[in-house]
Amino acid sequence: MQVRNGLSPNVNQFSAWRKRTIKTGANGSLIHALIESVRPYQWIKNMLVFVALVFSKNMFHFPLFLKTLAAFGLFCLLSGAVYLINDVVDLEADRLHPIKKYRPIPSGRLPKKWAIGFAFLLASVSLLVSFELDPSFGRVAFVYFILFVSYSLVFKKLLIMDMIIVALAYVLRAVAGAEVIHVSISHWLILCTAFLALFIVISKRRHELVVLGNGSISSREVLSGYNALFLDQMIGISSVASLVFYAMYTISNDTMVHLGHRKLLLTLPFVGYGIFRYLYLVYIKNHGGSPELIFLKDKAMIVNLVFWGILVISLLYFG
């Protein structure tokens, strides 16, 4: 792998893309900086709130679909508040990061006081509306918010816990989706989500450690406690566990009772391919630093997800 200025070619390309984005934003308004800071491109993670709706066979139940859609929107607002808080807390460290230094707050395009005020507004409105939408959903949303604030202040500095907390936030999204429509979600799916999230989070840490190098370590202190071999072992364990737990869900007795068949096992090859493709992008293409961009821009991953989704819906609703 060729390295230039301490970064791999792929990271240099991403950095250049960020610079172009910032240059455009610099000519725009404060609103543009606020929108960029809440990171709309990362809202794809909040799609996990739809898991319970789909797998409980309620996707075509319009009132429940609308509630889940509202839950998705509220999590987008809440996660935006979390990102703002995190960037304020990490302001000085992010200024040392080779990529994060271009974000609106570290770069100075968004004043700190504006970020704090907007974060308070987003968090207050989203939590109040969440409890109004459904008290159970509101409680999960509140736990998610407190968890991530605690992560920004404490847990991101603790070895291993820094990754577990982020993975737990993924799980809370899926749980919130179940709570808002009052359905149960398979414990196998919960475990699959948890370990798949761990797989993605650990891969991102590996990218920061191995690809970004010293520039990333200086801005994320916890990375100094890891090495590539340890993270590689964790990636192997979490990827295999997520595949196994998904397989267990497809053949479990609860799934058999719910669907009347075990044909969901036919979707396992797509999940396996998705994991292998992600590993390829992490280890060969060095793209593990931006999971959301992988799912939004990698054509093979997108095609695989589309075919997996079509097959899952066909087997759930028409199988």
pLDDT tens over the chain, length 319 residues: 444 444 444 444 444 444 444 444 444 588 899 999 999 988 999 999 999 999 999 999 999 999 999 999 999 999 999 999 999 998 888 887 777 888 899 988 999 999 999 999 999 999 999 999 999 999 999 999 999 999 999 999 999 999 999 999 999 999 999 999 999 999 999 999 999 999 999 999 999 888 766 555 656 778 889 999 999 999 999 999 999 999 999 999 999 988 888 899 999 999 999 999 999 999 999 888 889 889 999 999 999 999 999 999 999 999 7
Choose among 279, 290, 287, 295: nearest CA to 211: 287
Q: Each residue of 132-150: pLDDT tens digit? A: 999 999 999 999 999 999 9
Domains (ranges, CATH) in the chain? Answer: 10-185 (1.10.357.140), 190-319 (no CATH)
State the helix-helix crossing angle for 299-317 and 268-283, rounded to 10 degrees. 160
Q: Rounded to whole angstroms, how far apart are CA atoms 315 and 259?
A: 9
Q: How many CB atoms lie within 10 A of CB 309?
A: 13
Contact 109, 91 (CB under 8 A): no
The reported pLDDT for the residue numbered 214 is: 59
The reported pLDDT for the residue numbered 184 is: 92
The reported pLDDT for the residue numbered 211 is: 73
User: Residues with Cβ < 8 Å from 174, sequence gap 6 or more?
Assistant: 48, 49, 51, 52, 185, 189, 190, 193
The reported pLDDT for the residue numbered 288 is: 83
User: Residues with Cβ < 8 Å from 142, sequence gap 6 or more?
Assistant: 127, 130, 131
The reported pLDDT for the residue numbered 221 is: 78
Q: In Å, how far are 74, 211, 316 from 178, measured between CA atoms?
A: 15, 37, 17
Token pair belonging to 199: 């797989």
Q: Each residue of 216-240: pLDDT tens digit? A: 565 677 888 999 999 999 999 999 9
Contact 279, 313 (CB under 8 A): no
Q: Rounded to whole angstroms, how far apart are CA atoms 144 and 142?
A: 5
**Sign of CA pseudo-dihedral 140, 146, 150, 152:** positive
Q: Rounded to whole angstroms, how far apart are CA atoms 14 and 16?
A: 5
117-128 core/surface letters (b: 16 or more CB in 10 A; e: else): ebbeebbeebbe
